[in-house]
Amino acid sequence: MKAFIVNRYGKKEKLQLTEIAEPVVKETDILVQIYSASVNLLDSKIRNGEFKLILPYKAPFTLGHDVAGIVTEVGTKVSKFKVGDEIYARPADHRIGTFAELISINEKDVAMKPKNLSMAEAASIPLVGLTVWQALVEKANLKKGQKVFIQAGSGGVGTFAIQLAKHLGATVATTTSAANIDLVKSLGADIVIDYKKDDFETILKDYDVVLNSQDVKTLEKSLRIVKPGGKVISISGPPDPDFGQEINANWFLKIILKFLSAGIRKKAKRLGVNFSFLFMRAQGEQLSQITKLIESGVIKPVMDKVFPFEETNEAMSYVEKGRAKGKVVIKVK
């Protein structure tokens, strides 16, 4: 089958379109004919080598973390899916590879594709949808009447997060640049701050939750707009010791993680704020909950651009510019 692989780590390295062997289908796996994949900054960060310590993929390997497609084969112990099902997924770490024609995925990481979405729209959802679910529902336990600050409301994560937070009954503040103000308002944002003009720290106060996706400076400011006992969940680092436990890191990596987040944890503690790092994980059950929200019209995909499979490198470059409005998708079939 055809696949875009990382041959060598590096910021300037391009993925190579290559013929590789079809995936092996284990007992609890389904084999998926890929129709669409979406691009995440995680793909670029992995190719650059920035995740080597946490996810030590050995080159050559196929990149890609989001998929929508059709089941073409099921393992002997698969119980939830059958050949012909239309599914979507964020395959688990160490089993990625959606920039390809086929992928085999453990059925526990898969959900039925929302019936009202095209394959391209469906592929745009899993990684960002699960990230937001794990941040706002699992970690923050965001409740009706609470105030949440979602940074970069016009991005892949932000466009999904605004919609889910509104559904949960929260008041939503977000940052974006002037060109995207109407977009984030249309998704339900209550307070929109043009980050090029205004400083959110002077506008927002006593927030219950922050979803941090930007740099350390923004993270530090975020600590100061949260009320004591509130939560700041960062998806852009620094990783904390709990994350080390979650991924079963060795002692050396655990020390590094402790060191990387020591400063921010100290500042958070001083302010009585709960800081935690989140690295999203594959989760078919949660994705099924997301399917329901999409089918009932609560959450709509926000798509920027669809690239043909052959232009996967161009799609990655586009996302790396950091200006995407919603998600960027690759059409494989």
Ligand X SMILES: NC(=O)c1ccc[n+]([C@@H]2O[C@H](COP(=O)([O-])OP(=O)(O)OC[C@H]3O[C@@H](n4cnc5c(N)ncnc54)[C@H](OP(=O)(O)O)[C@@H]3O)[C@@H](O)[C@H]2O)c1
Footprint of ligand X (CB under 6 A): 40-42, 128, 131, 151-152, 154-158, 175-177, 180, 195, 213-214, 235-236, 278-280, 319, 322-325
Our CB check for ligand X shows the closer of 144 and 196 to be: 196
How distant, in Å, are the alpha carbons of 170, 206, 250, 275 from that of 147?
6, 8, 37, 16
Q: Closest separation between CB of residue 239 and ligand X, Å?
A: 9
Q: Structure tokens of 35?
A: 């129709």
Q: Which of 144, 155, 142, 133 is nearest to 231 (CA)?
A: 142
Our CB check for ligand X shows the closer of 71 and 157 to be: 157
Q: Closest separation between CB of residue 304 and ligand X, Å?
A: 8
Q: Closest separation between CB of residue 161 and ligand X, Å?
A: 9
Our CB check for ligand X shows the closer of 104 and 131 to be: 131
Q: Closest separation between CB of residue 288 and ligand X, Å?
A: 19
Our CB check for ligand X shows the closer of 38 and 274 to be: 38
Contact 328, 304 (CB under 8 A): yes
Chain residue at closest Cβ approach to ligand X: 155
Our CB check for ligand X shows the closer of 48 and 116 to be: 48
Residue with tokens 């390809």, as numbered in its chain: 100
Q: Closest separation between CB of residue 261 and ligand X, Å?
A: 13
C-alpha angle 184-293-40 in degrees, rounded to nearest 5:
60
**What DSSP line would sit under 222-265, residue for residue?**
HHHHEEEEEEEEESSS---HHHHHHTT--HHHHHHHHHHHHHHH
Contact 326, 301 (CB under 8 A): yes
Q: Closest separation between CB of residue 33 and ligand X, Å?
A: 26
Our CB check for ligand X shows the closer of 23 and 244 to be: 244
Burial of 333 (0-12, 13-18, 19+ CB in 10 A): exposed
